[in-house]
Amino acid sequence: MENAKQKPTKGKEIMSWVWPILIAVIIAVVVRQFLFAPVTVKGESMENTYHNNDRVIISKISKIERFDVIVFESPVEDDHYIKRVIGLPGDHVKVENDVLYINDKKYKEAYESDHIKEYKQDELNFTEDFTMEDVTGETVVPEGQYFVLGDNRQNSSDSRDYGFIKKSAINGVVAFKFFPWN
């Protein structure tokens, strides 16, 4: 009587390894392309929130909300920037005496408190006073665009310099920092 259990052929054994690896690679590519992606922070513009060479994960499917940190294609060079969304479509933004006003409502920027305290000791404003009309020529953020600022306002090139960010230029919303772990 012939043995009921036949030895698998070498081809079948190889395929038993290739298929799971191929499926894992396809899943990884789809997740990175359409759902989440790692990004390395470059520069000082988001200090003290994020520092140069921090690594973050961005969500490509999150809805963009006020004060979210986003990664987008720079409008002035072939690079990606990371900034905080301050103005949503239809908003009017201004800063007076280090107080942020959006649609004439005061907003406390907790992420800026250390910076502002440091500058107030020297009787300086951390963020120069501005209104959107002064920096963009517009009175409100246009539909499908966003007004962004870096957290390190003294060291940030942002919407005060290059205007609004189109929704189509946004790569994703920062979901979390994964390196360094502190």
**CA 91 – CA 147 distance, rounded (Å):** 9
Task: Let me know if 63 is a catalytic residue.
Answer: no
Distance of CA 180 to the CA centre of its chain: 17
Active site annotation includes 83:
yes
Tell me the H-state helices in 35-157.
Answer: 113-121, 132-136
For residues 84 and 69, the answer to whether their CB atoms sit within 8 Å is: yes
Radius of gyration of the chain (CA): 23
**Given the residues 7, 45, 59, 106, the one annotated as active site:** 45
Among 128, 142, 159, which Cα is nearest to 91's? 142
CB of 146 within 8 A of CB of 63?
no
Residue with tokens 């951390």: 126
Active-site entry in 63, 83, 157, 166: 83
As annotated, the active-site residues are 45, 83
